[in-house]
Amino acid sequence: MKTTATRRQFLKQGLMFGGAVAGHRLFGAPAVLSVNSPNSRVRVAFVGAWGRAQAHLNYSTLEPSIEIVAMADVDENRIKAGLAYVDKVPEYKGKASQIKTYHDYRKMFDEMGKSVDAVFIAIPDHSHTLAAIMAMKLGKHVYCEKPLTHDIYEARLVGETARKCKVMTQMGNQGHAGEGLRAIREYIEAGAIGTVTETHTWMCQNYSRLNKPRAVKPVPQGLHWDEWIGPGKYREYCEGLHPGAWYNTKDYGAGLIAAVGIHTFDAVHWGLQLKYPSSCVALAQEGMTEDDYGTLNTVMFDFPRPGLPPLKAYFYDGAKESSPNFAADVKQGVNHPALADELSAKYGRELWRSGDQVRAGTIFVGDKGYMISESEYCGAPRIIPEEKHKEFPVPPKKYPRTKGIQADFLRAVVEGGEQPCSNFADVSGPYVEALLVGQLAMRAGVGRKVEWDGENMKCTNIPELNQFVKQEYRKGWSL
């Protein structure tokens, strides 16, 4: 599909970010051609109309090259909220009622297939893959919220489908589009701390309030429960599962390691050019139930590296004490590396906290020193101690910058050419595969090392874990 010069000029004038990464083939994904809407705007449909989708509605309503044409959400109240939000935007005032709405995205794709160019997906994890693959097979460009998929097999599948369908794709891990992540890789490759031998990544969230008994209740008015379950394992409606509590529920979410860890651990996986781990073991765990992931977990990955010893990558999440909200504080006994305390004491600088507030981050241990990235979203690196950071020359900007995760997606949809920075085929798909091996280690339990064959997506020493590599889809919701 080729676009005309007039269309390109119109859209480039409307885009707020220009061609920030055009001309670079950083990730090696196949280039595809841009959209060809008759009205010279990118026609966007939403799968998920509220919650996390609000951020994408905000971006889309402010971007003149986007036209919102449809929304699908299993919760009618969320559709109302999404439409009300759009209707407050001057450009859409009085026009929001023209947006077509559905409670089943399959019907939306059936009816709107020829009237949509791109799709934003922001629904529970267990339904991501089916929605994304349906859209890609229709030739639609897809932006899907993290953690992209619910299991490892799905991560491989969406990547392969994206490559085959030659569409633009992006996972919504905002930090991957940021300056900090690129700087981390540039400092490491410039030898700021020598060869990195181990890493420690920790969170600043507490999911304890999600793990609680859930009473079966009547389905609330306006909620289409069968469609909410979608391809997942069926259960009766439970109070609190929607919205929110599904994040830490094994059947529908991928736990804190995928919901939030996917942002911060990116500094390790992309920053050090890793692929699949060879093994992973849970070192600590609290709060794990048959239904829910733990409320405190520590796992250690071994990542093979050509010509180097394996990297030991530690991941810490959760807290010892419960919290009334997701934001954790020091008083709750937040899970974090002892190394952070040791370095804080040695150099007189708090590396993981500010008073009672926790800062997520990663410490890189090299054979010539230490470096830290503070913030959940891969903040700018600092060599420890600060004097060494000031002495080290700022490395050249080797990797192309973007103007944001959504903007990078739209740039690719409009201009064609290079894939977005967190595309499914070469970046986010393989990354999610690697990260979810940590989820298998949590299921295995403390001390039971998971030996992992990444190419074949198989646990070689604990065969009963392989049932969790690929979820079975419910009848009527098959790929």
| 100-102, strands of its sheet edge to edge | 100-102, 66-72, 42-47, 118-121, 141-145, 169-172
**Cα–Cα distance for residue pair 34/42, rounded to 1 Å:** 10
Please say whether the beta carbons of 441 and 280 come within 8 A: yes
Angle between helix axes 53-62 and 76-87 (nearest 10 degrees) is: 30
Measured from the Cβ of residue 334, the count of other Cβ atoms closer than 10 Å reads 25
pLDDT tier for residue 435 given thresholds of 50, 70 and 90: very high
3-state DSSP of 228-271: HHCCCCCCCCEECCECCHHHHECCCCCHHHHHCHHHHCHHHHCC
pLDDT tier for residue 23 given thresholds of 50, 70 and 90: very low
CATH of domain 179-397+432-468: 3.30.360.10
Give me the percent of the chain exceeding a pLDDT of 70: 91
The pLDDT score that the predictor gives to residue 245 is 81
Give me the percent of the chain exceeding a pLDDT of 90: 78
For the chain, the domains span: 5-177+402-429, 179-397+432-468
pLDDT tier for residue 110 given thresholds of 50, 70 and 90: very high
Give yes or no for residue 111 having a pLDDT over 80.
Answer: yes
pLDDT tier for residue 5 given thresholds of 50, 70 and 90: very low
The pLDDT score that the predictor gives to residue 20 is 33
Give yes or no for residue 77 having a pLDDT over 50.
Answer: yes
**Cα–Cα distance for residue pair 150/172, rounded to 1 Å:** 15
* Residue found by looking up tokens 């905000």 in the block: 58
Model confidence pLDDT, tens digit, residues 467-477: 999 999 999 99
Please say whether the beta carbons of 362 and 190 come within 8 A: no
> Comparing C-alpha atoms, which of 311, 308, 306 is closest to residue 277?
311
Model confidence pLDDT, tens digit, residues 145-204: 999 999 999 999 999 999 999 999 999 999 999 999 999 999 999 999 999 999 999 998
Angular region, 447: left φ>0, alpha ψ -120 to 50, beta rest: left
Name the helix (H) or strand (E) containing 443: helix 429-444
The pLDDT score that the predictor gives to residue 270 is 99
Give yes or no for residue 24 having a pLDDT over 80.
Answer: no
- Our measurement of the distance from residue 21's CA atom to the centroid of its chain's CA atoms, rounded to an integer in Å, reads 21
The pLDDT score that the predictor gives to residue 370 is 98
Angle between helix axes 405-415 and 53-62 (nearest 10 degrees) is: 50
**Cα–Cα distance for residue pair 354/350, rounded to 1 Å:** 7
Lowest mean pLDDT, pick from 352-356, 407-411, 418-422 = 352-356
| 296-305, strands of its sheet edge to edge | 381-384, 369-374, 361-366, 196-202, 308-318, 296-305, 279-286, 450-453, 458-459
Average pLDDT score over residue span 391-404 = 97
SS3 (DSSP) at 449? coil
pLDDT tier for residue 35 given thresholds of 50, 70 and 90: low
End-to-end CA distance of the chain, in Å? 26
Average pLDDT score over residue span 453-461 = 99
Cβ partners under 8 Å of residue 247, min gap 6:
125, 207, 210, 253, 255, 256, 259
pTM of the predicted model as reported, rounded to 2 decimal places: 0.92
Question: What class has domain 5-177+402-429?
Answer: alpha beta
Model confidence pLDDT, tens digit, residues 294-352: 989 999 999 999 999 999 999 999 888 876 667 777 878 889 999 999 999 999 999 98
Q: In the predicted model, what is the mean pLDDT of the chain?
A: 90
Q: Which residues pair with 373 in a beta bridge?
A: 362, 381
The pLDDT score that the predictor gives to residue 38 is 54
Measured in residues, the chain has a length of 479
Angle between helix axes 405-415 and 5-14 (nearest 10 degrees) is: 170
Model confidence pLDDT, tens digit, residues 188-233: 999 999 999 999 999 988 777 777 778 899 999 999 999 999 999 9
**Cα–Cα distance for residue pair 262/31, rounded to 1 Å:** 26
SS3 (DSSP) at 444? helix
The pLDDT score that the predictor gives to residue 27 is 34
> Comparing C-alpha atoms, which of 202, 263, 275 is closest to residue 431?
275
Average pLDDT score over residue span 26-41 = 51
